[in-house]
Structure 1
Amino acid sequence: MQTLPQNPEGALVQIIGLAILSGTVAGAVAFVHRWYARKRIPNGVAILAGVGTVGISLGTWKALQPFMGGNPDVLLLPEATRNIASFAVAGVTAVIGARIGDRATTNMAALSGATKLDDDVSRIVGAVGRMVTVTLPETIDDIDGYDAVSDETKETLAGSSFVFPRRITVTELRERVVARLEDDHGIGQVDIDLASDGTVEYLALGSRIAGLGPLLVPGTVGVAIRADPAFSAGAGDFVAVWRRSDDGAERVATGEIRGTAEDVVTLAVDATDARKFDATEQYRLETLPRQSRPEREFVARLRSADERMGVLTVEPESDLVGLPVGSLDSTVVAVKPTDGAVETLPVRSRLLAAGDDLYVVARPAVLRRIERSAREKSDTTETEPKENPSQ
């Protein structure tokens, strides 16, 4: 067997061959990752898979060269340059191969004539037309309480179609549509209504809020200051912020520690106190006795959850009149009757009456259906989606 080529043509052939190997391996890993995880593979993982294969190939070749009569010296400048170029090109082709493998997984069903198929639909099922096509509307609304999805994403989704197996209920069909939108397009929250034939009657999208914002109670803001916190102070502790003044010390504000990094402390303070801080000044923190603030903790946790709170009034002709609180598919945290005090955490057997104000915690889709039931009578039944006439 011959050693690695020493001429430029041979080196180019080696680099191209290793690049193809890297792209092929990365594409295969991306294909399997999308198939099982239903998410796009990170670039770092793809590069590691592709370049790692190249490293194994070069290492194995060099290790076997002494036994084949070749030159085992890998520290020569031509050899080192060739290896570095191989790794660099392999990294680029690994990313390209990963994108091709990812796209091949999501569009595999396109070979059978469909543009978008659910993972559970096989080519045999699609060939005989036993499918339900769900077409998204041209107009997509925003969900109240969530950041709006970008216009580019809405334009991409508007009018697009998904194909699913026919023998599923409306509830199952809705769950699969929501899973496709969340997994393939990074949507944080989906509110959708489907008719019995799979027609989308309503669609609204929301994105997940990231960072410190979702953990802040309304009326408070996060402020980063330079301070000398107490030795035992940590996230969640209430502190008083002091600054030096001509009179010795001045209390600036009171807040809650959300994070520390050396001498930088992130505080949650009232919005009115945020302007009192100076970025160039050094403060000192005094730990205060722990105060129980369940309302703040409740709001903070609610803002970071999938559910949100809604306040609705039971109309005289609505479906909710006379029903117990426990019959609602949600959490009722309070009920305010027309002529009485607020009842917190009402018992499940408590009957609803016309004029009651309900404070409900639920997902946006569930909350919207309850609001609709509180306004008017409805006659909705769940049936199996009908077969698309076009199939």
Structure 2
Amino acid sequence: MTASNTLREAFTAGPPSPVTFEAPTAALINLLVYAVLSVITTGGLAVAYRWYFKQTVPEGVSGFVGVSAVALYINTTSLGVAVSDISVDLFEPGVVVFNVVALSIAAVAAPVGRRLGDAASSNLFSLAGLREFDGEVGAVVRSAGRVTTLTLPEEIADMESYDPVTAETKAELAGKTLVFPRRLTVEELRSRLIERLKEDYEVGYVDVDLTAAADVEFLAVGSRAAGIGATIAPGTVAVAIRADPPNNASPGDTVQVWTTTEEPKRLVTGELRGVAGDTVTLAIDDEDATLLSPTEAYRLLTLPAEPQADREFATLLRSVDETMGTVTIEAGSELVGLTPRALTATVVAVRPDGGKLTALPDRDRGFEVGETIYGLGRPDVLRGLEERAKAPPTEEPPAATENDEPNETEEQAT
């Protein structure tokens, strides 16, 4: 019996019967069909997975789907045998051995279909490089997959007026490639990058410049001052004493410190900064620090008070990306004559040269030479403001050459 006759009988016969290796030709043909079925199933899965997720289907998933397709076909044919008039033992050793071999062939053929399907879909659906769309929604950054990669520069600068980060952190960041979701605007990508550096690498401040194509042109980092020292006003100090504060007392409350003697006496008034058990940290005037002893116990009295604007501002400033900066306007700079309304940074105060500080100046007043601007904004915005406040570089006249000197011989002849 030839292979063509076997195929004809397989398609023209009645209900299918279990295949065993007692008929080698029929067994080989069925195994070949199962292999092709596994390749087609996993190949289709790879194409669909690449189209939707923009990446290669995992090997385990493709293998499971390929074997499941063959197992489903075998179970379907076995069900046809069970409901037909054919009397066959589905659990006889020959049938079981053939089914196990068929599933093994499907498992071997599944990676082949996965590679073929992924290769075909890569040429159809992948995008080469980055694309930029300008419209009402802004510049949208795409990448070849479902993620956008961002490579940091090899040289990372230190931010001026901030404590530098450790050399180990800068070495870890240099040349590192970070992965972000695709379809982000440049501004959203900048925010994600700053947030990632702060959370994963414990960087306090980040100054970064991104191009429209999502390339990092400049990167500078600085560390954030820890502790309460940065929020203590001049003329005050932080002290720790033994006391029993009210259970609802919280940092920022104004408290009075009283002695625990028979005749209580008020010692100082300060601001509650922290509580750890019976140890309380207070911010008080530096002149009153000598009135308190670290070994004695005190009683605290919480006072009603209005929220302190400077304390709230300092706390808020430590938790956002913006920071404070000052620039002095030089003669001939771009800022001369401009108004606070024309700046990207928020101008919170202006100090004229030798004059008094003016808080929240009029947004339509013009800047003058020598004035100091107190601005609030992102580090990259403040850096741009510093560049604009500088005087333009003066161009030196070209040096005189021998050709420019008058020819004495020609003058005498004239």
TM-score by length of 1: 0.52
Query: Please, which of 310, 317, 329 is the counterpart of residue 314 of structure 1?
Result: 329
Matched, 1:355 2:370: yes
- Cα distance change, pair 304–223 in 1 and its aligned pair in 2 (3 A): farther
On the 8 A contact 1:143/1:191 being kept in 2, the answer is no
Residue number in structure 1 paired with 2:299:
284
- Cα distance change, pair 236–200 in 1 and its aligned pair in 2 (3 A): closer
Give unmatched runs, 5+ long, in structure 2. 1-52, 54-125, 127-140, 394-414
On the 8 A contact 1:193/1:202 being kept in 2, the answer is yes
Query: Please, which of 165, 183, 190 is the counterpart of residue 149 of structure 1?
Result: 165
Q: CA deviation at 1:264?
A: 3.4
Alignment RMSD (CA, Å): 4.3
Residue number in structure 1 paired with 2:155:
138
Residue number in structure 2 paired with 1:328:
343
Query: Please, which of 114, 121, 133 is the counterpart of residue 143 of structure 2?
Result: 121
Partner SS for 1:203: strand
- Cα distance change, pair 150–220 in 1 and its aligned pair in 2 (3 A): farther
What letter is aligned with 2:166? S
CA distance in structure 2 between the partners assigned to 1:268 and 1:260 by the alignment: 12
On the 8 A contact 1:143/1:205 being kept in 2, the answer is no
Give unmatched runs, 5+ long, in structure 1. 1-34, 36-111, 113-118, 126-130, 379-391
Partner SS for 2:326: strand
On the 8 A contact 2:340/2:366 being kept in 1, the answer is yes
Query: Please, which of 236, 253, 256 is the counterpart of residue 240 of structure 1?
Result: 256
1:55-80 Cα distance to aligned partner (Å, 9 max, x none):
xxxxxxxxxxxxxxxxxxxxxxxxxx
On the 8 A contact 1:332/1:358 being kept in 2, the answer is yes
Matched, 1:190 2:212: no
1:279-330 Cα distance to aligned partner (Å, 9 max, x none):
3310122344526643344334334433222222111211111212111112
Partner SS for 2:338: coil
Q: CA deviation at 1:239?
A: 1.9
CA distance in structure 1 between the partners assigned to 2:249 and 2:150 by the alignment: 57
CA distance in structure 1 between the partners assigned to 2:365 and 2:326 by the alignment: 18
Which stretch of the first structure deviates more once superposed, 188-197 or 326-335?
188-197
Residue number in structure 2 paired with 1:381:
none
On the 8 A contact 1:241/1:286 being kept in 2, the answer is yes
Structure 1 residues 164-243: aligned runs within 5 Å: 174=190, 177-178=193-194, 180-182=196-198, 184-193=200-209, 202-209=218-225, 212-213=228-229, 215-217=231-233, 220-229=236-245, 234-243=250-259
Structure 1 residues 71-150: aligned runs within 5 Å: 121-123=143-145, 134-142=151-159, 144-145=161-162, 147-150=163-166
Matched, 1:295 2:310: yes
Partner SS for 1:122: coil
Residue number in structure 2 paired with 1:158:
174
1:119-146 Cα distance to aligned partner (Å, 9 max, x none):
9633599xxxxx997451335314534x
1:63-111 Cα distance to aligned partner (Å, 9 max, x none):
xxxxxxxxxxxxxxxxxxxxxxxxxxxxxxxxxxxxxxxxxxxxxxxxx
How many pairs does the alignment contain?
A: 255
Pick the structure with greater CA Rg.
Answer: 2
CA distance in structure 2 between the partners assigned to 1:359 and 1:165 by the alignment: 36
CA distance in structure 1 between the partners assigned to 2:267 and 2:320 by the alignment: 33
Partner SS for 1:319: coil
1:205-260 Cα distance to aligned partner (Å, 9 max, x none):
12445555555445544433221446875543222223367x95555432112344
On the 8 A contact 1:240/1:287 being kept in 2, the answer is yes
Quote the sequence identity (%): 47
Q: CA deviation at 1:163?
A: 8.5
What letter is aligned with 1:345? L
On the 8 A contact 2:146/2:181 being kept in 1, the answer is no
CA distance in structure 2 between the partners assigned to 1:141 and 1:254 by the alignment: 41
On the 8 A contact 1:134/1:162 being kept in 2, the answer is yes
What letter is aligned with 1:158? A
On the 8 A contact 2:142/2:183 being kept in 1, the answer is no
What letter is aligned with 2:376? V
Partner SS for 2:382: helix
Q: CA deviation at 1:374?
A: 0.8
- Cα distance change, pair 194–263 in 1 and its aligned pair in 2 (3 A): closer
